[in-house]
Structure 1
Amino acid sequence: MNEIKEMFSFEHVKLDVLWQSTVETLTMTGIATLFSFVFGIILGIILFQSSKSKTKASKPVYGVTSFVVNLFRAIPFIILIILLIPFTKALMGTMMGVWGAMPALIIGSSPFYARLVEIALKEVDKGVIEAAESMGANQWEIIRKVLLPEALPALISGITVTAIMLVGSTAIAGVIGAGGLGSLAYMVGFTRSQPDVTLVATIVILIIVFVIQILGDTIARAVDKR
């Protein structure tokens, strides 16, 4: 009973620390989402194009790309962070803090979004593609002017899901020193027996997730109506 009372006492919650942790979580999520969007679009287009192409080179390209995407999607995020420690140290100069978590966040989420991109592109009406081909459009023009615009609502929904997944990943990264709300909830709330801190950090994470979902849905609906 005392623990429940302590959880809702909020006596250990420091607003400046909470704000700093929130900014760290938003920074990790925002930057990783941006890079995941770019890399995911590239990988998704490669998967889509190589899967439907009938050339001899397309099958090896699809096989290798698909293998890499599936490989990094299958590795649990906490293990991926550990595996990437040498790479992260070499690239970022540290494995701690916001920037120390960035390579794992991007590498872990880009393949996930790439599959969503591939699915979105496959759902584009084939008649629209055939019409563009009959008008003499080359593959790059079809991708840029037909596939991506037609699939845009699904691409936005996909990056929304990816961003929400990244919020959870930042919380996991926080447990091993990446900072953010996950670190606040574990390092301060759990290890120091301050459940009110853990509760507040959890509430802020939920608010971030809800805001991302609402924004993503709103943008996707607006684009879909155009």
Structure 2
Amino acid sequence: MWTEFMSEFSRQLTPQVWELIANSSLETVYMSFAATLFAVIFGLPLGVVTFLTQQGQALENRKVNRLLEVLINIGRSIPFIILLFDLMPVTRFLVGTTLGTTAAIIPLSVSALPFFARLTSNALGDIPSGLTETAKAMGTSVWQLITRFYLPEALPVLIKAMTLTLIALIGYSAMAGAVGGGGLGNTAISYGLHRNMTYVLWVSTIIIVLIVMLCEKYGNKLADHFDHR
């Protein structure tokens, strides 16, 4: 039994296949981290403005807030696989192709943007109201209120939100691999499923799980480092 297992394992996982899996792992990391970066760059301001336009906040505006809430909710409600196909013309326009890891970053970023914006808005909403009132009493501007009070106070929660976004995108990247996005998802489906190489499928799955566990571990450690409460 063991001999048969090792024989089949070695037959499927040749040095060339291991090299492919290693490259696919790097592609998954590249896609996930790049998409998370773009989601934070664009989602953080969106979440901050959504929070600040709520009732009782510095930029209170019911119409703007309602519009942003609707946009965020719609963005979060679209299944990623549908968004992947809907954004193909945009992806082709921006990067010249819909295939490959760089092309996959576009739909991954768009899918994560409203998700991170919602987490940002919720994180700022958890800040004690007394801190806000103290900052306003000191005559701080809106920009100072954001950069000196809100963001530093919410930093540990925001780091955990980034970690959560990254973990979600690792899963989405595997789905993108099903339609030529590269990464471990593409390897698992192209080799593990279509070529009936079961061990390639399992090894790819295990590596994805390990990447998620490492991201969660070190993301939480970083958040705890900045949490001085």
Q: Which category describes the TM-score, using the shorter chain as reference length?
A: over 0.9
Q: How many pairs are equivalent? A: 225
Q: Does 2:173 correspond to 1:170?
A: yes
Q: Distance in 2 between the 1:175 and 1:23 partners?
A: 17
Match of residue 9 from structure 1 = 9
Structure 1 contact 181–201 (Cα < 8 Å) conserved: yes
Letter in 2 for 1:189: G
1:23 to 21, 26, 30: 26
The C-alpha deviation readout for 1:23-62, integer Å capped at 9, x for no partner, is: 1101001101111111121111011011135799822211
- Is the contact made by 1:37 and 1:110 (CA closer than 8 Å) also made in structure 2? yes
**In the alignment, is the contact (CA less than 8 A) between 2:58 and 2:142 conserved in 1?**
no
- The range that moved more, 168-177 or 98-107, is 98-107
Structure 2 partner of 1:203: 206
Ranked by relative contact order (alpha carbons within 8 Å, sequence separation 6 or more), the top structure is 1
Tell whether the 8 Å contact from 2:53 to 2:65 is kept in structure 1 after alignment: yes
Give the 3 Å change call, closer, same or farther, for CA 105–120 of structure 1 in structure 2: same
Secondary structure of the residue aligned to 2:82 is: helix
User: Within 2, Cα distance between the matches of 1:187 and 1:58?
Assistant: 50
Say whether the 8 Å CA contact 2:76–2:114 is kept in structure 1. yes
**In 2, distance between residues paired with 1:138 and 1:106?**
31
Q: Which runs of 5+ in 2 are unaligned?
A: none
TM-score (ref. length: structure 1):
0.94
Question: Does structure 1 residue 191 correspond to structure 2 residue 207?
Answer: no
**TM-score, normalised by the number of residues in structure 2:** 0.92
Q: In the aligned structure 2, how far is the partner of 1:217 from the partner of 1:54?
A: 29
Unaligned runs of 5+ in 1: none
- 8 Å contact kept, 1:113–1:158: yes
